[in-house]
């Protein structure tokens, strides 16, 4: 049996997190090292290592992650002022955990281009 990812341990309650949303397809929680006043991670319950490895069968959950991010942005009061969604893919893309996740960032002006 493979080791669980950090996000699977959060999903299973083995690691505490400030959970904002949970359903059968995803979980969302505050990032422990926020890069903006609002920094939430939206993570599929079933791990996909990275977006570049997603399969056609993952299409539904990928869309669900984006719709959930939009709902959380409304709940956090940043939908009107604006926010950024980020998905890192691979080491050079900034991927730190090999479990696909969407970063929802907002609550301040976000510069472009990013890092």
* Residues known to be catalytic: 101
Give, as one character, the DSSP assignment of residue 84: E
Q: 102 pairs with which residues across the strands?
A: 42
H helical segments located in 53-98: 59-75
The H or E element containing residue 6 is helix 6-11
């Amino acid at each position: 049996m493979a080791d669980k990812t950090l996000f699977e341990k959060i999903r299973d309650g083995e690691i505490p997190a400030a959970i904002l949303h949970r359903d059968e397809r995803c979980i969302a929680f505050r990032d422990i090292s926020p890069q903006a006043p609002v920094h939430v991670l939206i993570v599929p319950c079933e791990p996909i290592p990275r977006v570049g490895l997603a399969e056609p069968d993952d299409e539904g959950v990928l869309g669900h992650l984006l719709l959930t991010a939009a709902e959380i942005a409304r709940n956090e009061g940043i939908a009107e002022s604006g926010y950024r969604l980020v998905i890192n893919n691979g080491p050079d893309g900034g991927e730190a955990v090999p479990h696909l996740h969407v970063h929802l960032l907002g609550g301040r002006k976000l510069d472009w281009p990013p890092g």
